[in-house]
Structure 1
Amino acid sequence: MDRRRHLGRRPMPMTFQAHNIKIPNIYEHASGTVLAIAGKDFVVIGCDTGVCSDNAILSRTQTKLCPISDQMVLATAGCWSDAVALTNQLKMEQQFYEREHFKSMSIESMAQMLSVVQYQRRHLPYDVCPILGGIDQDGQGAVYIYDCIGLLQREGYCAEGSAGAMLQPLLDSQIGCHETVTKERALSIAKDALIMAARSDQYTGDLVIINIITRDGIELHQMELSQN
């Protein structure tokens, strides 16, 4: 072979096979299920406590409910790191408001604040399904739901998370056809719905934590679920 031709060749680029390297997913879902039911003067908002990653169980005791004030709770399902970042930001905004105005932010204002926070992150949105529940300025129960860029809507009840699509028809049949629902009835429906979710959804399980929000504060209920 001609030595000049051999020396003039460009070296072949080196390629690396990375078949065994797993690229981390920044939007890895921790799954789980959250729901909320608004009544005349109360809100029942609940969640399971399982946190999963693929087939690994990361925690069995992690609540997805975050009290923002004595009459307001945020429930989040989806990417757990995004849920923590979002709830921390809302708690910080609530603290700034209390220092400046010497009172807690109303749920109407917090609902708009949450919408603005999500819209500001529209290019890299929080991958969560938030439900904001609490007592409004008229003393009525209020539940707000959102899409990924902050479009908000007030509803009487809602279910989100890995079993949300399965539980929403149940809530429609149990609550949607009735004009009013009592606090005891709403609590019973929430417990039954989360039990059904634990039996049918592998990402829902371990414990049920339910907060009942009234003008007097937040009442805590807890119940064991089957471990998946």
Structure 2
Amino acid sequence: MSRRYDSRTTIFSPEGRLYQVEYAMEAIGNAGSAIGILSKDGVVLVGEKKVTSKLLQTSTSTEKMYKIDDHVAVAVAGIMSDANILINTARIQAQRYTFAYQEPMPVEQLVQSLCDTKQGYTQFGGLRPFGVSFLFAGWDKNYGFQLYMSDPSGNYAGWKAAAIGANNQAAQSMLKQDYRDEITREEAVQLALKVLSKTMDSTSLTSEKLELAEVFLSPSGNVKYQICPPNALSKLLVKIGVTQPAAETS
């Protein structure tokens, strides 16, 4: 039945569905998982890397985590070429706001602006939806630390903990059970890694297959975005007991 209505983004089915948008969401379900957790002293983002070749220069490249501005970062799940376009768009919007008003762009305003762009690609003929979902982590003076999730339709919402990508439903259920208010950043890191270790398709969890990023306030009061280096991530995996015994000896 859907074959009559999925040839164009602008055609509604009799049930009121846009199949092209739903197909884009299905594509994200095949991408590497990403988890975001909001804590009282920061936001934690953890992502599963699908590209794990030994020839990849992992020290200079990231697959899942990107910095938008000094106070905002994102975790990505989906088609990376689509994500690069949207990330560059968000960076330009943030810099334009800073140039115009001499202060950082509020996090939700930045998310809403980018989601307006994504929504436009579901409304006009000759275009297809962006096949990517984002987890936005940021801080501003109005609402403090914030975590938002957006999908190809242009919808977004604020979350205390969220998961995108493969097995996101299972990860979301675990987060719902184990998340608690007033969680610290260190506890959020441990929770995110434990949830990811149980939902990843891979049998072993190593630093080569993960990316961990945090947004928090430095002692001087400035917003800091930090990616955990592989050696520190390996030690952390051993500490919380999610690394396979074979990986601990390496």
TM above 0.5: yes
Q: CA separation in 2, counterparts of 1:190 and 1:59?
A: 25
Alignment pair present for 1:86 and 2:90? no
Q: CA deviation at 1:99?
A: 2.3
Conservation of the 8 A alpha-carbon contact between 1:83 and 1:128: yes
**Richer in helix (by share):** 2
User: How does the TM-score come out when normalised to structure 1?
Assistant: 0.73
Of residues 213, 216, 225, the one that matches 1:218 is 225
Conservation of the 8 A alpha-carbon contact between 1:211 and 1:220: yes
User: Which AA in structure 1 matches 2:228?
Assistant: H
Aligned to 2:187: 185
1:118 counterpart SS class: helix
Runs of 4+ in structure 1 over 3 Å off:
27-30, 56-62
Aligned to 1:137: 141
Within 5 A, what are the aligned runs for 1:150-169? 150-169=154-173
Aligned to 1:38: 38
Comparing 105-114 with 216-225, greater Cα deviation is found at 216-225
Aligned to 2:120: 120
Q: Which runs of 5+ in 1 are unaligned?
A: 1-26
Conservation of the 8 A alpha-carbon contact between 1:42 and 1:212: yes
Q: CA separation in 2, counterparts of 1:40 and 1:139?
A: 12
Q: CA separation in 2, counterparts of 1:215 and 1:107?
A: 15
Q: CA separation in 1, counterparts of 2:185 and 2:107?
A: 20
User: Which AA in structure 1 matches 2:226?
Assistant: E
Q: CA deviation at 1:85?
A: 1.3
1:113 counterpart SS class: helix
User: Which AA in structure 1 matches 2:209?
Assistant: L
Q: CA separation in 1, counterparts of 2:54 and 2:86?
A: 23
**Percent identity (aligned):** 22
Bigger radius of gyration: 1
Conservation of the 8 A alpha-carbon contact between 1:40 and 1:180: yes
Change (3 A) 1:143 1:119: same
Conservation of the 8 A alpha-carbon contact between 1:74 and 1:132: yes
For 1:143-199, what per-residue CA distance to the aligned partner results, in whole angstroms no more than 9, with x for missing partners? 111232211111101010113222111111110xx232111110111122222333x
Q: CA separation in 2, counterparts of 1:174 and 1:153?
A: 20
RMSD (CA atoms): 2.8
**Richer in strand (by share):** 1
Conservation of the 8 A alpha-carbon contact between 1:49 and 1:64: yes
Q: Which runs of 5+ in 2 are unaligned?
A: 1-23, 219-223, 235-242, 245-250
For 1:114-139, what per-residue CA distance to the aligned partner results, in whole angstroms no more than 9, with x for missing partners? 22111121142111111111113345
Report how many residues are paired.
193
